[in-house]
A = this chain, B = another copy of it.
Amino acid sequence: MAQVSARKLQDWKDQGFEPGNCPVRQVLDHVSAKWPVLILLELGRKPMRFNELLRALPDISKRMLTQSLRNLERDGILRREVFDTKPPSVTYSLSALGEGFLPHLLALVDWAETGMPEIVAARQRFDTV
């Protein structure tokens, strides 16, 4: 594993990727930020409409929901479909790209859940010193 990590980093540096201009990091930032994670998990269950998401995520604001959805849509991770009914309805769903991301996200969440006891213990040790 260390070798993989080492090779990847070297590859990037060979290509002149400074952390600042790395396109991968931009995407990672979008998907791993506060709300996008929750949004993607919700949409992993089923496609949803705007206000449906608003209700499912109790303490998100409209502003943040809109912004997060736009970012994810722009990156092609989710799809936005407008039905010109009255009143209008808009549904959001994962794209193929988004579906491909979900397993990684769940694996990460699993890792964090599994490691929680150890992490909590580490924190207590750190804080009491």
Contact = CB atoms under 8 A, between A and B. Distances in A.
Interface of A: 1-2, 4-6, 8-9, 18-20, 23-25, 27-29, 32, 34, 37-38, 41-42, 44-46, 57-60, 73-77, 97, 99-104, 106-109, 111-113, 115-116, 118-123, 125-127
15 contacts: A4-B106, A5-B45, A9-B42, A19-B60, A23-B119, A24-B112, A24-B113, A24-B116, A27-B115, A28-B37, A28-B108, A32-B32, A75-B119, A104-B107, A108-B108
Contacts of A126: 73-74, 76
A17 to B, nearest CB: 11
Given A9-B45, A76-B122, A106 B1 contact: yes
Question: Which DSSP category, helix, strand, loop or mixed, fits chain A's interface?
Answer: helix
